Structure 1
Amino acid sequence: MSEAASLPANTTLTKRDLFYTSHDGLTLYAADYGPIDSDTVILCMHGLTRNHKDFEPMIEGLGLKARFISVDVRGRGKSDRDPNGTTYQPPFYAQDMATLMAHLNLDKVILIGTSMGGLMAMLMAKAFPEKIRGIVMNDVGPEVNPAGLKRIAGYAGGNEIFDSWGDAAAAIGKTQAGVYPDYGADDWMAFARRTCVEQADGKIVFDYDPVIVKGMGSTTPGWRVNFAMWRVFAAMKSIPLLIIRGEWSDILAKKTANRMLRRHKNSALLTVPNRGHTPFLDEPHSLDAIRDFIRSLGSA
């Protein structure tokens, strides 16, 4: 096929469980959707405190006859937690993605990375650019706004325990209201169901290891870090890039997004209205841009 075709209307995507072993012996998980023999394989990588379920609304909304592999990064969801908590850092996450690709014998993939997942995509493009057909970076860049990092550090890594799903949804709505101002009660409940898990005792907790926040590093990256990340970004110049930014993002500044656009000659920028950090990628603007971008890449 020359491009990713559309699925028939009202098609229910098949979801398959994938488990693989990391270089240091952890059992890691990914969800595998769509036709397994598709020429178009899209690897979806979530943000710091999220998991593979974040991408299910996007996958359904795109309606493409493509294979989507959405991961639980180590320490999240169904993936093992690091018993020492020392490997919760993007270089280790990127190494896990290379292991997953080798496990599945994937020669080329399209990357969609949200926030932390976008940083992973940058590192992967630096390490093995020949395996990357294109990249969608969702609300992140080589330079991260310290204000946004401080905000995320303020709520990530907590040990909140909720008595009910309603309590969990209300708490999430309180912290994320500025990101998704048009969300209602049903949206926050769906958000909670994707982000949290019910324990054996019926209590609701966030579905990640609280230790992950230690891998964030400084919330005020110095010039050396920024310089190094711009060097990594420069190495992506041969790979088509779609940059997505929330209109009110406190992580990806407007000037940084525009600088990325100027420096990468094969890139495009979408600003999603009425969104902070991060767009959920199920917005009509996001779906249209991602669908067009994937189709522009043609077959593998």
Structure 2
Amino acid sequence: MASDEGFSDFFYTAPDGLKLHARIYGEANTDAWPVVCLPGLTRNARDFHELALYLSGEAKRPRKVIAFDYRGRGRSDYDPDISHYKVGVEAGDVLTGLAALGIEQAAFIGTSRGGLIIHVLGALKPAVLNAIVLNDIGPVIEVEGLAHIRSYLERAPKPKTFAEAVDTQRRVHGAGFPALGDADWARMVAAISRETEAGLVPDFDPALVDTLAGADLSKPLPDLWPQFDALAAVPLLAIRGANSKLFSGATLGEMQRRHSGMETIIAEGQGHAPFLETGDLPKKIAAFLDRVENQVEYK
């Protein structure tokens, strides 16, 4: 049963025994494709709360929405073996969760790492992908963007209060996100943090930072063009933050060349990764999902 916040908590067990968590919005919405939301590296299901409320309730065609906490994030168990914090394992966890929910096909929205997981799902179980929304991610990750993320995580400030955390996020990331207001930054901090006796802390396993330590950022990172090309038949919407350092305009252009039916949105005044609940992004995402589902139904 959904809570007063509009969702219910779903717990399931990974193949290696970890207890994992997802949020379910709009459980009674069975007349449209469900939507699966996959967050970024250190983020969690709360990133999608406002978007999920819109897609499951306010949209013209309400949908069931499932937002996952990967292992080591949010309400999912931390993994004692940090070598399991990798895209392939997390993709398997998502498939396990969907199987537990009885979901065989869905539309997928992936932010950053979530988009990488979608590329892997296309290789592991392509039939599960009805449609894809990639939020500021593609087959090529720019070294500058990943270096920025690693540097921030390794030297992340440790604010003690919520207000201090909001000020910190705005100070560190504000130049890349001039489109955001005070409420947006506050919502972000609420999504990525949790209260403890020691104060406010990031809501992920600190060992996740160590998984980036071995990345050689002196040369281009391996790309996923073969995996992307395998998605050519899947309806795709790519969103790029106009100020993104991780997802380049050149990569977006090459994606358009390879996937002729791909739709695009440039989120002005936002960097990596755009806040999907802001501006007209929820309506545009919902319209894309409705449009491609209608095309399938009318064939």
State the TM-score, normalized to the length of structure 1.
0.89
C-alpha displacement at 1:167, in angstroms? 1.5
Select which of 114, 117, 124 maps to 1:117.
Answer: 114
Q: Distance in 2 between matches of 1:120 and 1:136?
A: 12
Q: Could you tell me which residue of structure 1 aligns to residue 167 of structure 2?
A: 170
Select which of 62, 67, 72 maps to 2:64.
Answer: 67
Single out whichever of 89-98 and 168-177 deviates more from structure 2: 168-177
Select which of 47, 50, 58 maps to 1:54.
Answer: 47
C-alpha displacement at 1:214, in angstroms? 2.9
Select which of 177, 183, 196 maps to 2:180.
Answer: 183
User: SS where residue 176 of structure 2 aligns?
Assistant: coil
Select which of 70, 76, 80 maps to 2:77.
Answer: 80
Residue ranges of structure 1 left out of the alignment (5+ in a row) = 1-11
Equivalent positions of 1:144-163 (< 5 A) are 144-156=141-153, 160-163=157-160
Give deviations 1:195-241, integer Å, cap 9, x for gaps.
10001x25110001111123345253856822xx1111111111111
1:274 counterpart = 2:269: yes
C-alpha displacement at 1:156, in angstroms? 1.9
Residue pair 2:7, 2:24 contacting (<8 A) in 1 also: yes
Residue pair 1:134, 1:239 contacting (<8 A) in 2 also: yes
CA separation of 1:80 and 1:159: change in aligned 2, threshold 3 A: farther
C-alpha displacement at 1:164, in angstroms? 1.3
> How many pairs are equivalent?
286
Q: Distance in 2 between matches of 1:148 and 1:159?
A: 16
User: SS where residue 175 of structure 1 aligns?
Assistant: helix
Q: Could you tell me which residue of structure 1 aligns to residue 246 of structure 2?
A: 251
Counterpart amino acid of 2:36? L
C-alpha displacement at 1:182, in angstroms? 3.4
Counterpart amino acid of 1:198? E
Residue pair 2:73, 2:205 contacting (<8 A) in 1 also: yes
Q: Distance in 1 between matches of 2:95 and 2:67?
A: 14
User: SS where residue 225 of structure 1 aligns?
Assistant: coil
Q: Could you tell me which residue of structure 1 aligns to residue 201 of structure 2?
A: 205
Residue pair 2:157, 2:168 contacting (<8 A) in 1 also: no
Residue ranges of structure 2 left out of the alignment (5+ in a row) = none
Q: Distance in 1 between matches of 2:220 and 2:244?
A: 21
1:15 counterpart = 2:10: no
Select which of 189, 192, 196 maps to 1:195.
Answer: 192
Counterpart amino acid of 1:88? Y
User: SS where residue 166 of structure 1 aligns?
Assistant: helix
Q: Could you tell me which residue of structure 2 aligns to residue 215 of structure 1?
A: 211
C-alpha displacement at 1:14, in angstroms? 2.8
1:296 counterpart = 2:260: no
Q: Could you tell me which residue of structure 2 aligns to residue 26 of structure 1?
A: 18
User: SS where residue 243 of structure 1 aligns?
Assistant: strand
Residue pair 1:272, 1:279 contacting (<8 A) in 2 also: yes
Residue pair 1:157, 1:210 contacting (<8 A) in 2 also: no
C-alpha displacement at 1:13, in angstroms? 6.8
Residue pair 2:71, 2:79 contacting (<8 A) in 1 also: yes
**Paired-residue identity, %:** 31
